[in-house]
Amino acid sequence: MPLEIIEGPNIVAGAREWEDREWFPPGPQLAICLSGGKQHLADLTDDELLQVAAAARRQTSWAQARELAAIAELTQRRTTTETTTTGPDGGGDYRTLPAREAVTEEIAAALTVTGNTAATLVHLAQQLTGPLADTGAALETGRIDMAKARVICDTTDSLPDQITQHVQTAALDKAPTQTTGQLRRRIKRIVHRLAPEAAEERKQQAVRQRRLELWDTATGTTDLALCDLAPEDAHGIFNKITAAAHGLKKDGDTRPLHLIRADLATQLLHGTDLPAATRTLLTQTTHRQTRHRAAGNHQGPKTSRAPQHRTANEPATADTGLRTGTAAGDATPTTTPDHDPGLPEVLAMVHRRLTHLRDRTRPADMPAAVNRAIHQLNDRLAPQRDTLCQADAARHGRPGHRPPDNLRREIQERHATCVYPTCNQPSHRCDLDHTVPWRPGITCRCNLAPLCRRHHRLKQTPGWTLHHIWPGLLIWTTPSGAWYIIRPDRQ
């Protein structure tokens, strides 16, 4: 057998292998070219390094096109099943989630992204395999990246089909050589020219969704934003505050304009009127300067970090990753609360049983097999579970459907959020769900967990099951046969 396989190719060779490769298409071949050891990058010229970076980006686009195609295919399967089983109106059963939303949750859990991100992916996947197929093709061939595909998708949203096609063709023509900002501005101009009424209607629609949003940031601060205001309103407010801030600067406030603006806006939103807010800030300035002089510090205050801009289409909620969920295939028991010595053993038993099962079961049989196996484990653990509840809580099961306050607190402490793997809804805003519905299900710590409304409906959607096999240890199974283990957390 000759050893001359695709020998750690081009990067290793050291010769000018990366020259003239600007349009070497992404795919398996390019993946091989890129897979040379990182240490060889040191041998490349500056130009070649840029070529490698650009090639890796094309390869990423290709991979993202595959990701979206897979999402589109799964969405198509799930939504088709719904149409055939519940009629074209999608059922309308308030107890369950419509197929499109359920598949969004399935994707969120599998990719460990928030529900918002998953919804964006599903929408993008459907557009790029439907009306925006040319944009999908441009992504797959690495002519544009995912960010540009999103711009094209967002800016053509809810436009008439014919206009969308025109806009897409024009956008793709220049997109490879434009940044997302340039692309967005260009498409906006094209849409205004081709379909002024549609553009206006879309704007009015967005204005009807105007809202005040709030989210915590990684640094421990909180952002507050007024979103989707009419431009004249937003610009009017901004200009007014800026003018007042300039006035304050003239009167001696030495701080950067963006800080003064932020303080003025805060005062105004607290209910202070503009003249009073200006006076307050000016008094503070005088005090600050007096203090600085007293401390012998004649330097101006340090310039703080410039405000960061969030693009209009980024979801407001940040991805925080999985809290307790353990994805199928990556199931390693880690720390467990020390109050329950049985938990690590139960976790290990579940992992062993389900991994063993996966290795020996045809994928098509997995959903049924997983549920069967968990039911068996559940039955086997029943006597120990009863003993545990009796020992810890004096009683296994409370009278009535409604859990008493102390039990409610215990459950909310055990799971700080809804027990769906990607959900961040605080448990005090969730329902305490009887995992097995009340009667035969009991009101007990081994059968109660916080679920938000959405994931409560998901639990009742065909193909989904939530098991509670040990107090606080829950397992979700999905229509594809994946499982997610939710451990008690006490953070």
- Distance between CA atoms of residues 283 and 302, nearest Å: 19
- Tokens 């605080």 appear where? 426
Q: Which is nearer to Zn ion, 31 or 322 (CB)?
A: 322
Query: Least CB distance from residue 425 to Zn ion, whole Å?
Result: 5
Q: Which is nearer to Zn ion, 264 or 381 (CB)?
A: 381
Helices 46-86 and 99-111: angle between axes, nearest 10 degrees: 140
Q: Of 265, 252, 243, 266, whose CA–CA distance to 301 is shortest?
A: 252
Q: Which is nearer to Zn ion, 136 or 472 (CB)?
A: 472
Q: Which is nearer to Zn ion, 425 or 478 (CB)?
A: 425
Q: Which is nearer to Zn ion, 174 or 339 (CB)?
A: 339
- Tokens 């009807």 appear where? 208
Rounded to a whole number of angstroms, the CA Rg of the chain reads 29
Long-range contacts of 285-289 (CB under 8 A, 24+ apart): 285/248, 285/251, 285/252, 285/253, 285/254, 285/255, 286/252, 289/252, 289/254
Query: Least CB distance from residue 475 to Zn ion, whole Å?
Result: 16
Query: Least CB distance from residue 302 to Zn ion, whole Å?
Result: 42
Residues that bind Zn ion (CB under 5 A): 389, 396, 418, 420, 423, 425, 444, 446, 452, 455
- Tokens 């039990």 appear where? 407
398 beta partners: 443
- Cβ proximity of 355 and 452 under 8 Å: no
Q: What is the DSSP letter of 472?
A: T
Query: Least CB distance from residue 389 to Zn ion, whole Å?
Result: 3
Q: Which is nearer to Zn ion, 30 or 97 (CB)?
A: 97
- Distance between CA atoms of residues 458 and 351, nearest Å: 24
Query: Least CB distance from residue 455 to Zn ion, whole Å?
Result: 4
Q: Which is nearer to Zn ion, 108 or 482 (CB)?
A: 108
User: What CA–CA distances, in Å, run from 381 to 45, 253, 359, 374?
Assistant: 63, 69, 24, 10
Query: Least CB distance from residue 383 to Zn ion, whole Å?
Result: 12
Q: Which is nearer to Zn ion, 70 or 382 (CB)?
A: 382
Query: Least CB distance from residue 490 to Zn ion, whole Å?
Result: 18
Query: Least CB distance from residue 254 to Zn ion, whole Å?
Result: 48
- Distance between CA atoms of residues 454 and 438, nearest Å: 20
